[in-house]
Amino acid sequence: MKQLLCGLIVLVLFASRLEPGHADYTFTTLDVPGSPSTSAYGINNSGQVVGVYEEPLAPRFHAFLLSGGAYTSFDVPGSTGTAAYG
């Protein structure tokens, strides 16, 4: 019983010394203007993001590149939908 009590005291003292963790990352919301759905699938070391977004009134998808705060949309010619992953 004495060992259990000593163990609990040590655990409480140890736990009280722990500092709360902090994140080394930032979350950013991505929304292609006018689109009801945007998904990001890749990011490079320069912070350029690629992914896919949906048209507002039709179930069609387009790829996008977000670079320097500007979205660029692109499609594979003749396709019914395009997505960028990397």
Residue 7's pLDDT is 61
Domain ranges within the chain, ordered by starting residue? 22-86
Residue 8 has what pLDDT? 61
- Do 64 and 57 meet the contact criterion of CB atoms below 8 Å apart? no
Contact assessment for residue 81 and residue 60, using Cβ atoms and an 8 Å cutoff: yes
Q: What is the pLDDT of residues 55-71, one digit of tens each?
A: 988 889 999 999 999 99
- Residues 6 or more apart whose CB falls under 8 angstroms from that of 64 comprise 32, 38, 50, 51, 52, 53, 71, 72, 73, 74, 84
> In this predicted model, what pLDDT tens digit does every residue of 14-54 receive, in sequence order?
656 666 767 777 788 889 999 999 999 999 999 999 999 99
Q: What is the pLDDT of residues 5-16, one digit of tens each?
A: 656 665 665 656
The secondary structure of the chain in percent helix, strand, coil, rounded to multiples of 5, reads 20, 30, 50
